[in-house]
Amino acid sequence: MNRDSSQSSFRYLHDSSNLPQSIDESIAQIKAFALQEFDREVVEKQLYYHNREHLENVRRRSTLILQAIVPTWEVWLQQQEPSIDLSRIELLLDLSIAAHDMVQVFISQSDLHATRRREPGVSERASFERLVEYINALNQQLQRHDPDSPARLTDRDIAIIRAAIGATICTYAPTEQAIYQADLYDVQNPPSIVARILALADIGALGIDGTEVYSQEGSLLFLEENLDVIPLLLDETIDRLESDNLALYQNIQQRLLKRCRFQVNFAKSRAARLKSELVGFPESTIDTLTHDVFRYLNPATIQAIEATTPTAETASLKSLLEFFELERYLDR
């Protein structure tokens, strides 16, 4: 992230004539900052998957989960000391969605023809740190103008945002050859429902949207993590690699094959983990969440993915490219 360009986003904080007057206005201003930073990141780092479309998908899936647990959850919130306003929780969830991928940090690598990777947790922590820096600056300005301003975010608000973004951090499970979100299994510090909603919505494409969206996200992630393949697709050089550059042909074939195998393993993992990951929601909502919201996490879906995804070592580069349909997404 270019520090100078980011700092320019703070300049209008010094204009006390246009300070937010309510928590709604503060969240709207902070969200606008987060999206501005995110849009810059998308362009600078050529993010095919982590972009506005992803945020909208996460927001839509979060809404479906939230709708399934309200009004049960609202009653629980009102019984807390002090009580928690559902509308405020919804604002914090919306802000967390907008900011959770705001910064993307890739590991430096020298090999041009290799998948670029992120260190687990680094991007998420950087996103929160960037966001809270802005929140603190705004809170300080509000404090100077009006010590009792209702527009200030509280420590509790910030803790909710921190936990929600942190819950999206994925850990690799070697036995499953898939990723999962470790915070959802922390029995000592169980995640809040806000954190659970964002986490499950973030990787909930298969369960909530089905195989088509799941496959699309896989293709977009491959493009984002394998930028070297894009020019080969655009000039159709990739079609001649088997005869012109066998080593590169095999390199790309293996990367696509690895993605295919991950798609199958990740689908199995999501289905196997659903019951455990829904435990933190109100018990009376579990059935609705299982059968209506995450309705695609069932044996039929997993069988369909296994049957249609090429995973054999003998799969040709041509068949793998046909499966991912990468050309469809190059104009995005």
Region 256-283: what's the mean pLDDT? 96
Contact predicate 285/72, CB 8 Å: yes
Residue 137, pLDDT > 70, answer yes
Pair of tokens at residue 308: 């249609």
- Distance separating alpha carbons of residues 11 and 46, to the nearest angstrom: 27
Q: Which two tokens stand for residue 289?
A: 């969440």
**Average pLDDT score over residue span 189-206:** 96
Lowest mean pLDDT among 3-17, 42-56, 192-206, 310-324: 3-17
What's the pLDDT at 1? 43
Q: Contact 312/323 with Cβ under 8 angstroms? A: no
What pLDDT does 18 receive? 81
CB neighbourhood size of 68 (10 A) = 21
Pick the range with the lowest mean pLDDT from 63-67, 86-90, 312-316.
86-90
Task: Label residue 71 by pLDDT band (50, 70, 90).
Answer: confident
When pLDDT is averaged across residues 286-306 and rounded to a whole number, the result is: 97
Indicate if the pLDDT at residue 331 is higher than 80.
no
| pTM of structure | 0.92
Average pLDDT over the chain, rounded to whole? Answer: 93
